[in-house]
Amino acid sequence: MLGDLRDGIWYFAGYLYSYVGWGDGWCCLRKIIHCDCDCFYASVELRDDPSLKGLPVAVGGAAERRGVVATCNYEARTFGIHSAMPTASALRRCPNLIVLTPRMEAYREVALQIRGIFKRYTELIEPLSLDEAYLDVTDCDAFQGSATRIAQAIRQHVRDEVGITISAGVAPNKFLAKVASDWDKPDGLTVITPAQVDEFVLSLPVSKIHGVGKVMTARMADQAIYSCADLRLRTLEELQGLFGKFGQQLYDYARGVDSRSVKPHRERKSLSVETTFAQDLEGIETAKNQVVDLFKELEKRLLRVENKPLSGVFVKLKSADFRQTTIDRRYQGELTTVLFEQLLEEAWPRMASPLRLIGLGVRFDSKVEKTTVSKVVREEQLDLFS
């Protein structure tokens, strides 16, 4: 009954917003669900080995091989452990941490099972990763079209059939649905109807906006911007001046506006492989020796994707002191180890220190022009745990 009443309000409010507009933008009436598995890799491991329940568990690379944490359960998070943290740092914070090697095939199998549950309600599914996806259930007839009850049913199916928990957010657009799914984790459901959007967004901290990390949050604080209400005090021109192209998104998000549709088929724009080495690589020749194995892995992964024309290639290097450089070149010819070795040689002088990571990659483009030799070089100082 609550779901039906909530969706009745949804339709009425959505009808008004569709014709009256809101703020400086227009609302498109949609019912979007964002589903996000809770501690996905760790949840699968605990499901398969119940003896781990209640213990701090992380899934990731070994500390002695400079691995990082892919994910961890909430018991581990109480120690301040988080994704992308070096495993060695995680073990210093929690010496009793159980670190498990990732089982990607098992996770993919579970992800496909969950995807099958999604398809019972809609074909409009946009996967973001193995453990999260957007669903557009605007035209779904299940539960008399109640998005709330559809989300409840999906979460129950995942719990009963898969054996893990999933959090969900229901809202009129993708931005708000994603924020909502993270609002009451783990195992939570948060619903934002069109009538609630304005009040919800006004109190939303900017740190909850996807794409606003620690550095951006600090930059905003310097401008006395802490919430979406503060963002609304700035003109579009001011936000673009402060944050470039992202300023337009911030302007829209602060008003609860997001016109992006759910795209079931996301076009792959790039593919890459990378390795973090147990010991830093000293010297250009030592680094070049690693290109052969990385190139073989890149070729294997390319066989798994549809045949797409190339638009470019790139090499990424990360130094022992966590500086990162990427050399990106437009290219449409045949891929060879020599090509990547040349890019590595060009990038090497920029690091001027031993390497901890090498990555090789390609970019795809359906509208490829003639091959050029123009290059774009980017260099940045990364946060310690990036």
Cα 299 to the center of its chain, rounded Å: 25
Residue 255 tokens, joined:
């008003």
Length of the chain: 386
Where do runs of H (alpha helix) occur along 119-188? Answer: 147-157, 174-181
What whole-number distance in Å separates Cα of residue 375 and Cα of residue 329?
A: 5
Residue 36, annotated ligand binder? yes
Which residues have CB under 8 Å from 187's CB, separation 6+? 38, 155, 165, 166, 167
Determine if the peptide bond prior to 186 is cis (ω within 30°): yes
Residue 25 tokens, joined:
């933008």
Which residues have CB under 8 Å from 284's CB, separation 6+? 344, 345, 348
Closest CA to 99 of 118, 113, 109, 86: 86
Q: What is the Cα gyration radius of the chain?
A: 23
Residue 48, annotated ligand binder? no
Cα 312 to the center of its chain, rounded Å: 23
Q: In the block, which residue shows the tokens 């700035």?
A: 234
Active site annotation includes 132: yes
Q: How far is CA 346 from CA 284, 285, 375, in A?
A: 10, 13, 11
What whole-number distance in Å separates Cα of residue 40 and Cα of residue 96?
A: 21
The residue annotated as part of the active site, out of 45, 75, 126, 132, is: 132
| Amino acid found at 149 | R
**3-state SS class at 348:** helix
Just list the catalytic residues.
Answer: 132
Question: Which residues participate in the annotated binding site for Mg(2+)?
Answer: 36, 131
